[in-house]
Structure 1
Amino acid sequence: MLKSKTFVKKTRSGGVLKIVREHYLRDDIWCGSEVCVECGDGAPVLLRDPRIESDLCTYPHYLLPDTNVVLHQIDILEDPLIRNVIILQTVLQEVRHRSAPVYKRIKDAIHDKEKHFYTFTNEHHRETFIEREQGESANDRNDRAIRVAAKWYTDHLSKAPNVGELKVVLLTNDRANKEKAEQSGLLAYRCEEYIKSLIGNPELVDRLALASDDQVRSALLFPEHLPLSRIQVGIKSGTFLQGTFRASRDNYLEATVFIHGDGEDSTEVLLQGLQNLNRAVHQDLVAIELFPKERWVAPSSVVLQDDRPNDEDAEEEDAEKKSTVSDTSVLKPTGRVVGIIKRNWRPFCGMLNQSQIKEATRHLFTPADRRIPRIRIETRQASTLVGQRIIVAIDGWPRNSRYPNGHFVRNLGGAGDKDTETEVLLLEHDVPHQPFSQAVLSFLPKMPWGITEEDLKVRTDLRHLCVCSVDPPGCTDIDDALHCRDLENGNLEVGVHIADVSHFIRPGNALDQEAANRGTTVYLCGKRIDMVPELLSSNLCSLRSNVERLAFSCIWEMNHNAEILNTRFCKSIINSKASLTYAEAQMRIDDAGMNDDITTSLRGLNKLAKILKAQRIEKGALTLSSPEVRFHMDSETHDPIDLQTKELKETNSMVEEFMLLANISVAQKIYDEFSESVKSRIGFVHKHFWWFWSYFISLSLYHYSFQGPTLTVEDQHTFHIFDKVKVTISLDASNIQHQKIRMALVEPVVHDSVRNTFI
């Protein structure tokens, strides 16, 4: 069945565009339940007997949440206890439009086979699709669509044989929607009353998102946020400005918003006082109003932390603000937040401050990031959570509340515990560290793995060379190795060999996507977060000694003054003769009694590295010092007993110089090979080149208050070192102030400045 929808849309240029959309309806979309015999296609997702202990719903039942429940109670839905849930297409589309992070989380839950979440495409089912009625809002139409789908499920499942007491329960926090559902004969409950009815799971109640507490406290502490429509008009007229809110680490009553104007007319606006901050949270995209010059102030010179034990009024905070000291000789543009364009909330790590009132259920949570305000949560586990690192999510910030409202998500462990503090670091810095999924692991090579005859045909055999690696002690992911030998003509042959990961990871598969998401391997004290699974990082792609490995090699012919006479690149097979630490390599170089092939190679490399470094510094290279500090721990108590700064040896610099030289040679090779392509404006992507452009654009757009660009490749199937691809740069569409800025499909062009960048 085909339905069409026609409407007229005004374009940005002022023209009128007629749009016709076709909507196809089907009657063969299956319900996904094991009890149904009428829908015969596909594997069932919803179990036949979905039991969950509840004193409200004592019968087996499927849950069908509305949009607001998914948006605000996603932490509840992610709990392992909540299973057999029907997610309607209407709900999924609304969630996608309103919150990308929640949309991703609900999609992850749907893909988790243990959760038994089923997506029902009600918008394409003949019996559940509804038209929007005249005068009906989009929200009311969607609520009606949810009720219609719930009614269809109830009637549809009742026809199944041996259905027993199986029912469908609609979860909604909308009073009107609940009343209309009950009038239609549906089972409908508020999310809170359903969760509180679950027997033996009181901890789930703490994860409920808090509702507004207008009835608890009536005094309004903050100005009202303007609606987005008024903000848009104000920004276009110049009355308001927009930028990213950046809270101060040192003074919780102070923040700045960077506004980029035309040319070099950029302004950093200072915000002071709770009412002027107006419930903005660090990294929110805000609209501000600039004060006249006579109201401009200087930044405070006092460190002020929000450590009050009680929830106190804004008037007291303003009195405390007046007691701070400012340098009146340096006035800055000052303003106030008038509205929030886009929230940037995330789950926050921190600790609970237990209320001084005995038996209280409301407590304040202090985030680990000092730029985030304290959050009020409700929990009955306060005595258990004191002294623990926990995660809390913000639900909202009403005008009558000194602090935002939130809810408890999960307990990480005791404060001060090394594993717990490591988890906090990873979460706060958004480092992906979850175990690799089965979808990712399925693309790993089967063991035992070995080099094939086909590999020998297409690769250069360098197994006879005296190759060795030099790395920190305990390193298992050895990704580079070196060699140096004398040639018959009196010159030197020097090689850098990099593990060929591209042999095992094909473009676009789940393993490639996960590695791209992680971006790099993260090293912590006693822990490593791998970019790729351990089978690759510490085994097949690790250039360990005395095993054959696949590599990508850059080989130079040099004279004894480190002048490059010839360069060649090849995919190779190597067999490292030694895996050395920096100290072991240095001892070999310094020991005059050692003259074996490995030691001779190291001495040649070290001599050339010193010359290369001197040449770089002479050309104006920038040297950044970043000393590594290590704690020595007691073997029994695990307490720190000594602090030591890592000593850098010549071998550290030796490896560094040849890695830099390899990058320079690769950049030169790319430029030479693609010089004709550059003239015809055909771009290319290489890992380092792509990173450079992304980083450069990110820095540039920082001044425009953009959230940062997204770079995507037009053809994901072509992504090798010399593949030609087109790149799209996408900007955050929420930037209302700069609507006229557009960056469409571009083709990166390499010129001389890029060559210098690699060098």
Structure 2
Amino acid sequence: MLRSKSFVKRTRKGNVVKVVKEHYLRDDIPCSSQLCSACTHHQRPVLSDIPRSTSSLPSHYLIPDTNVFMNQLDLMEHNTIKDVIVLQTVREELKHLSLPIYNRLNTMLADTNKRFYLFANEHCRETFIEKLKDESPNDRNDRAIRVAVKWYSDHLKGQPVRTVLLSDDRANREKASALGLKAVSVKDYVEGIKDVPELLDIVVAPKDNDANKNEIIYEEHLSPAQIQSGIKKGSLIQSTLNISQHNVLEATVTGPVDGEVRTIYIQGRQHLNRSIQGDVVALQLLPPAQWKRSASLAMEDNSDDEDENGLQQGDRSFEQIKNEMDVDQSGGEPTAKVVGIVRKKWRPYCGFIVKKSVHSKPGSNSAENVLFRAMDRRIPPIKMRTSQAHTLLSQRVVVSIDSWPTHSMLPMGHFVKTLGSSGDRETETEVLLLEHDVPYQEFSKRILADLPKEGEDWVVTDQHVKHENRMDLRHLNVCSIDPPGCTDIDDALHVKALDNGNYQVGVHIADVTYFVKLGQAMDQEAASRGTTVYLVDKRIDMLPSLLGTNLCSLRSNVDRLAFSCLWEMTEDGEIVNVDFTKSIIRSKHSFTYEEAQNRIDDSRMQDDVTQGIRMLNKFAKKFRAARLARGALTLSSPEVRFHLENESQDPVDVEMKELKETNALVEEFMLLANIAVAERIYSKFQSSAMLRRHPTPPASNFEQLRKSLADASGGTLDLDVQSSKSLADSLDKAVLKDDPYFNNLVRIMTTRCMMQAQYFCSGTEAEADFRHYGLASPIYTHFTSPIRRYAGKKKKEKGQVTMTTDSLCIRCGGTSFTSSLY
């Protein structure tokens, strides 16, 4: 059956056009119940023939309304909730209301164990309804849900199953009951599931009904319209909130103050005004007389000292301590207060129940209010209600925030799930991964289906040379230099003397895009993971191991596909020209940094590969010297290596990694390749090349460090932050004769003053802003490390890739990535 609706509208150009929308209604959409014999099921029915029953309901199917998914999604994701009919009306509403919730619903629909069935009620002739005159879209959708519930009830009449509307909207339930339908609230439904009592803890907490709810603690947030108006006028500042690691009552943002980008402070709970770490907030600058003038305080954190409001001794005395300090009344740091939240960054938090907040006796099953503390101390304590407080005391648990009303000192939330016992290695590892939003699930069958059918037997063939325009470089003395135990080798090097007295130098990067095509499930998963994550005892791979540690890895003595960057250089390291090509290589040796260094140092080693490494090292030293002369920074970020016990894989010792010349050798050539690729792609796609910039840090970022440096040296040392070159020179001079570690410490602290590096499309920034401050390079990108960094893969595939022996053209597709310093 075809229904159509026509109407006229005016286009942007002022033309009037007629629009016809067609809506198809069908009679053959199945109910997908295994009990039904009336429907023609083209696929195996989703809904069980023996669905769950509760103490108050016989076997039944659930039909939740939109608000149940919006507010109780953690509950709907619980393994107990099965045999659910998701209406097309509800799914479409969720798509418009919240894309993250919509995506999580789609994940549940795809999980065959959940038995969630999507019923296309808007295309079923018997359940489709027209919007009535003067009926709001919300009322129309509620009515459509009730019509669908009635259709299921009538359709399955005579079967040993009921259809239940799940809704927290009292009016909706009353209208359903008037039609003879069964409708229950979420709380009433969950209370009937006696065999899973923890479900009650997952139900989202209702609005706070404290007796003190009329006592307003925080200011009301401005409306979105007021915020946008204030930002346009310049009276408000929009920025991302960063709570201090050392004082949870102090936060910073960056924003314009009198035409200059500066660090802005927010101090105290009232001025933070219910904002949470990571929120995008709207701020109003305080009068200069109220600006921060004292040094930031480090607040000692002790969960056992918390009172029922989640406050600690340091919290209560913060303002008092600040007022008692000797304050310099001149100057001051810009200080503001939060007046609105543009975008919340609330997420499920891992943590523990505060022991002193549990007042019931051991063994009690009565519900009580307790405090939850997240592992991320920047997150405020969360008030939650649970009937399993004593059981959860020794556990790591996950809690979500529901609301934070103006009359509540702390946010209110609900229990989501238990992760395991505190202190257990696997549990703490899972906490670490969850807190840093690292996807760690095993690769699904759908993703693994994109792997080559030959598996480990896949080999390079003549077809790769003849039909893919690849340069055959297998005759060259290519080698790789990596940390010990590295199996995901994504770069290799070679050098060859040319007849004209110059040298050919090559950087070869694993061709991941041959195996991972744009739009594949594996590509989408790699984009979601973003990077390979290395833990003490294991790693979380961005790509399945067949690719990451085998077919893509540039292992020695096997043919591998690569992208190659080839320079012709003079003996002094001056670049004559550079070419880019798809290639086939065969690495002659996979060295560790120490093995390669030993080759360089051992004068008895005179083979071609060793002499090549020595020549590469000679070039690398010249490149490094030139880079430092341009103002590149040498900052310190100590790296450690853990020694693990063989059987248990428990860490038994830790040591600082020793950096050798070969570390710098590899670093210099990777930087050279990244810069060369950045220059080439920008020359071909000036408005859409994906590049990476490192903004110049404002001078205010260094103020505290400069003051500390002057105090430690008696006023003899300072940092000149006028340019990266002047900063690098002053870092070299920051030395105390009696403290050999002092200079290293200053470099570590200088790292903290830097801005984060950012991926961007060239058309969004002025060319003068492309500069990478830390590397002193006018242009930069990430071409290397595609096995373990998705941004490296993007340089070879996203949008359009044109690779020949004389050109490399890459366009970015607007994907954002996690930023770091370089």
TM-score (norm 2): 0.76
Matched, 1:460 2:542: no
Is 1:139 the counterpart of 2:138? The answer is yes
1:633–1:539 Cα change, 3 Å? closer
- Partner Cα separation in structure 2 for residue 214 and residue 304 of structure 1: 32
Partner secondary structure for residue 215 of structure 2: coil
The question of 1:718 aligning with 2:729 is answered: no
Q: Give 5+ residue unaligned stretches, structure 1.
A: 702-710, 731-758
Aligned partner of 1:420 in structure 2 is 427
Residues in 2 aligned to 1:493 and 1:227: alpha-carbon distance in whole angstroms: 62
Contact 1:507–1:718 (8 Å) recurs in 2 = no
Structure 1 residues 363 and 694, CA, compared in 2 at 3 Å: closer, same or farther?
farther
Paired amino acid for 1:456 = V
For the residues of structure 1 that align with 2:313 and 2:810, how far apart are their CA atoms? 62
> 2:680·2:809 contact (CA, 8 Å) conserved in 1?
no
Deviates more, 1:327-336 or 1:384-393: 327-336
Q: Secondary structure at the match of 1:580?
A: strand
Q: Structure 1 residues 251, 717: closer, same or farther in 2, change over 3 A?
A: closer
Shift of residue 649 of structure 1?
0.9
RMSD value, Cα: 4.0
Q: 1:444 deviation in Å?
A: 0.7
Shift of 1:217: 5.3
Tell me the distance in 1 between the aligned counterparts of 2:598 and 2:315: 64
8 Å Cα contact 1:631-1:643 kept in structure 2? yes
AA aligned to 1:125 is C
Match of 1:264 in 2: 259
Asked if structure 1 preserves the Cα contact closer than 8 Å seen for 2:254 and 2:262, the reply is: yes
- Residues in 2 aligned to 1:424 and 1:698: alpha-carbon distance in whole angstroms: 38
One-letter amino acid of the structure 2 residue matched with residue 250 of structure 1: H
Does structure 1 residue 191 correspond to structure 2 residue 200? no
1:407 aligns with 2:406: no
**Residues 167-176 or 461-470, more deviating:** 461-470
Q: Distance in 2 between matches of 1:480 and 1:230?
A: 52
Q: 1:506 is matched with which residue?
A: 517
Query: Structure 1 pair 685/614, CA: closer, same or farther in 2 (3 Å)?
Result: closer
Q: 1:616 aligns with which of 627, 636, 658?
A: 627
Answer whether contact 2:309 2:410 (CA < 8 A) is retained: no
Describe the shift of the 1:297–1:96 C-alpha distance in structure 2 as closer, same or farther (beyond 3 A). Answer: same
**1:357 matched to which residue of 2?**
359
State the Cα distance separating 1:147 from its structure 2 match: 1.4
Aligned pairs for 1:158-173 (under 5 A) are: 158=157, 164-173=159-168
Quote the offset at 1:443 in angstroms: 0.9
Q: What's 1:591 paired with?
A: 602
Structure 2 equivalent of residue 325 of structure 1:
322
How far off its partner does 1:579 sit? 1.4
Deviation string 1:512-562 (CA, Å, 9 cap, x unpaired) is 222222222222222222121111010000111222211222233434322
Name the structure 1 match of 2:483. 472
Match of 1:627 among 630, 638, 644: 638
Query: How many positions carry a matched residue from both structures?
Result: 707
Question: How big is the shift at 1:692?
Answer: 3.9
Please state how far the C-alpha of 1:411 moved relative to its aligned partner: 2.4
The letter of the residue matching 1:209 is V
State the distance in 2 between where 1:424 and 1:199 align.
29
1:685–1:723: 8 Å Cα contact kept in structure 2? no
2:441 matches 1:434: yes
TM-score, reference length from structure 1 = 0.82
Q: How does 1:81-160 map to 2 (within 5 A)?
A: 81-158=80-157
Q: Is this contact kept in 1: 2:201–2:385, CA < 8 A?
A: yes
1:42-99 deviation digits (Å, cap 9, x = unpaired)? 424522414225222222x211111121112111111222222111222223323332
Q: 1:313 to 1:202 in 2, by over 3 A?
A: closer
Which of 292, 297, 304 lines up with 1:302 in the alignment? 297
Q: Shift of the alpha carbon at 1:577?
A: 1.9
17-26 or 557-566, larger mean C-alpha shift: 17-26
Q: Which of 101-110 and 718-727 deviates more?
A: 718-727
Contact 1:562 1:608 in 2 (8 A): yes
The one of 152, 168, 171 aligned to 1:176:
171
Which of 364, 373, 376 matches 1:369?
Answer: 376
One-letter amino acid matched to 1:378? R
For 2:113, the aligned partner's letter is E
| Aligned-pair CA distance for 1:336 | 4.4
Letter in 1 for 2:347: R
- 1:26 equivalent in structure 2: 25
Q: How far apart are the structure 1 equivalents of 2:56 and 2:75?
A: 17
Quote the Cα distance in structure 1 between the aligned partners of 2:641 and 2:248.
Answer: 33
Q: Secondary structure at the match of 1:545?
A: coil
State the partner residue of 1:449. Answer: 458
- Which stretch of the first structure deviates more once superposed, 311-320 or 462-471? 311-320
8 A Cα contact 2:227 2:282, kept in partner: yes
Query: What's 1:693 paired with?
Result: 760
SS in 2 for 1:144: helix
Q: Residues 33 and 217 from structure 1, CA distance in 2 versus in 1: closer, same or farther, beyond 3 angstroms?
A: farther
1:2 aligned residue: 3
Say whether 1:74 aligns with 2:156.
no
User: What is the one-letter code of the residue matched to 2:463?
Assistant: E
Report if aligned partners of 2:502, 2:568 keep a CA contact under 8 Å in 1. Answer: yes
Q: Structure 2: how far apart are the matches of 1:640 and 1:728?
A: 41
Q: Distance in 2 between matches of 1:525 and 1:543?
A: 24
- 1:651 corresponds in structure 2 to 662
| 1:251 aligned to which of 218, 237, 247 | 247
CA–CA distance in structure 1, aligned partners of residues 255 and 622 of structure 2: 47
Among candidates 551, 554, 571, match of residue 543 of structure 1:
554
Write the deviation string for residues 544-599 of structure 1: whole angstroms up to 9, x where unpaired.
12222112222334343223345433322222222111111111222222223332
1:207 equivalenced with 2:202 (yes/no): yes
Distance 2:168 2:101 in 1: 18
- The one-letter code of the counterpart of 2:375 is A
The worse-fitting range, judged by mean Cα deviation, of 546-555 and 337-346 is: 337-346
Structure 1 contact 274–317 (Cα < 8 Å) conserved: no
Counterpart amino acid of residue 97 in structure 1: H
- Say whether 1:347 aligns with 2:348: yes
Deviation at 1:41, TM superposition (A): 5.8
**Counterpart among 504, 509, 526 of residue 493 in structure 1:** 504
Aligned to 2:708: none
Displacement of 1:451: 1.8
